[in-house]
Amino acid sequence: AAKERAAEVYTSIGMRPLMLTKEIDGFIADRLLEAVWREALWLINDGIATAQQIDDAIRFGAGLRWSFMGTFLVYRIAGGEAGMQHFLAQFGPTLQWPWTKLMDVPDLNQELIDTIVAQSDDQANGSTIRELEELRDDCLVSVMQGLRTVGYGAGEVLADFERALFDRAPAPAVAADSAQPLKVHEIRIPTEWVDYNGHTNDSRYAQMSGDAADAFLRYLGVDADYLRGGHSYYTVESHITYAAQSHAGDVVYVTSQVISYDEKRLHLFNRMHRADDHTLISTGEHMYLHVDTVAGKAMAAPPEMIERIAAVANAQTHLERPTQAGRFVGAPR
């Protein structure tokens, strides 16, 4: 029961627990890494490769495949159409060849230690441990996000976790006065959003406005059940304007105003403000089309969805049309 409960906890935070039927010394991954580590020590000890070359062989070669297929599936592919059976028949005898020294380990004497330390220092090129950790984490995230687009390996786990978060996410709490633009999203600008000019990169305003629009749609009822029913809103046009700057650490909130709607279209206008002084820093204008996600074509939204949109739009009828709405690139301000 304890193992099952632990697995539930790890799964809930986006991890993939590995349940074993037999207890062993050390984790499976640690034992595999130990085998690679021992072989790497011999390659350095025998003067065959440097620490940099060994790491390059992994990160530009096998490591790329390991990140999403592991070892056995990669070898299965190497066996061709006949699969693993052919691979083992073809390459199994090589286990007797003197390609590895894994049954022995080099003497980790001071000379070898000094060699490895010096090569590792050269490889780090002055980077601190913290800098290397940040680089490692950024790369891991990038790999996982890339794999998420194909729904495979670690990317499948990430996609499942994000879907679970979406399923659990409540409709955003908005201001009680629905007659005003609805405050649907708030975020603190992370440091990685800052560009070479020292302020938030322009693409992030599109992201903030898009996230706010998603929150507004959830407020209307576009939740996991709605999506599973084969309905959604797709973006068909967007326009972003920039009015002021934001920087790392700034808290930004976003409000949404319905400009127009019909049974298929939703015209939404978002305003992004710095929370400390309520300065308008950017606007996002979006046109959404209601679609049948199974058929892949536009369709009328269900009557209850139209009613929810109408309730917000009717409450906001007294609001002036934003001056930025309908702008085109280069239009006079």
Instruction: Look up tokens 């973006």; give the residue.
Output: 235
Q: Which two tokens stand for residue 96?
A: 């007797």
The pLDDT, as a whole number, for residue 184 is 92
At residue 175, does pLDDT exceed 60?
A: no
Predicted confidence (pLDDT) per residue in 239-253, tens digit: 999 999 999 999 999
The pLDDT, as a whole number, for residue 242 is 96
- At residue 3, what are phi and psi to the nearest 5 degrees? -65, -40
Span 231-236, average pLDDT: 97
Going by C-alpha positions, the residue among 219, 186, 210, 241 that lies closest to residue 312 is 219
At residue 85, does pLDDT exceed 70?
A: yes
The mean of the pLDDT values for the chain is 88
The pLDDT, as a whole number, for residue 241 is 96
The pLDDT, as a whole number, for residue 177 is 59
DSSP-derived secondary structure letter, 317: T
Q: Is 13 exposed, middle or buried (0-12, 13-18, 19+ CB in 10 A)?
A: exposed
Predicted confidence (pLDDT) per residue in 187-210, tens digit: 999 888 999 888 999 999 999 999
The pLDDT, as a whole number, for residue 314 is 93
Residue 155 CB neighbours (<10 A): 19
Predicted confidence (pLDDT) per residue in 286-317, tens digit: 999 999 999 999 999 999 999 999 999 999 99
b vs e for 198-230, b when ≥16 Cβ sit within 10 Å of the residue's Cβ? ebbeeebbbebbbebbbbbbbbbebbeebeeee
The pLDDT, as a whole number, for residue 180 is 83
Distance CA(251)–CA(267), nearest Å, equals 26
Going by C-alpha positions, the residue among 145, 11, 123 that lies closest to residue 59 is 123
Distance CA(230)–CA(139), nearest Å, equals 34
Q: Is this model's pTM higher than 0.85 or not?
A: no
Segments in 249-316 forming alpha helices (H): 303-315
Predicted confidence (pLDDT) per residue in 25-79, tens digit: 888 999 899 989 999 999 999 999 999 999 999 988 888 888 888 888 888 888 8
The pLDDT, as a whole number, for residue 86 is 79
Q: What is the percent of the chain with per-residue pLDDT over 70, rounded to a whole number?
A: 94
The pLDDT, as a whole number, for residue 280 is 98
Q: What is the percent of the chain with per-residue pLDDT over 90, rounded to a whole number?
A: 49
